[in-house]
Structure 1
Amino acid sequence: MQVQEAFKALSDPTRRAIILLVKDHKKSAGEIVSQFSSTNATISHHLAVLKEADLILDERDGKFIYYELNSKTVNDLIDWLKALKRTK
């Protein structure tokens, strides 16, 4: 996991919104796009950034691509942040 890439990906509000959309259930690209006023190309770019940061996983099923949260990367980030916390 590259912490810098993950935080850079999460710095964008649209990408954070996408993460929230896929945190509980897989969503198709079309389902994700329908939640935003942005173009398909813009959302596709955001998905690519999240995928590159290993924050989401994709799975092709026929002509559809489904996205879901990569909980391992999220847990690694949480563990990294917890390690920063001072103990008294």
Structure 2
Amino acid sequence: MNEAFKALSDPTRRKILDLLKEKDRTAGEISDHFNISKPSISQHLKLLKHAGLVQDEKQGQFIIYSLNLTVFQELISWAFSFTEKKEKEGEN
């Protein structure tokens, strides 16, 4: 989970995740939304993939990137565990 938080700390990577929330995309389609080099976008995608936030699938000569919703569900569940504890304390 630490890698996921590290990946989420960067605004460029968060913007990439926002783009993938809309639809699956190739690295080229993602890079069209930024004024940074394609190798930089590839590095960001590599970090997102390493953190488990995105997955990729080769389709012909393209690699399609998509969100890995399982990791997001784990992060949300972890975050909600804090509110559950507060609610239980309030019941006592």
TM norm structure 1 = 0.94
List runs of 5+ in structure 2 lacking aligned partners: none
Task: Specify which structure has the higher proportion of helix.
Answer: 2
| Greater RCO, CA 8 A, separation 6+ | 1
Which stretches of structure 1, 4 residues or more, deviate above 2 A after TM superposition?
Answer: none
Q: Given the alignment of the two structures, is residue 44 of structure 1 paired with residue 45 of structure 2, yes or no?
A: no
Output aligned runs, 1:70-81, within 5 Å.
70-81=68-79
1:20-44 C-alpha deviation (Å, 9 max, x unpaired): 0001311111100110001001000
% identical aligned pairs: 45
How many residue pairs align between the two structures?
86
2:82 and 2:9 map into 1 onto residues whose CA distance is: 19
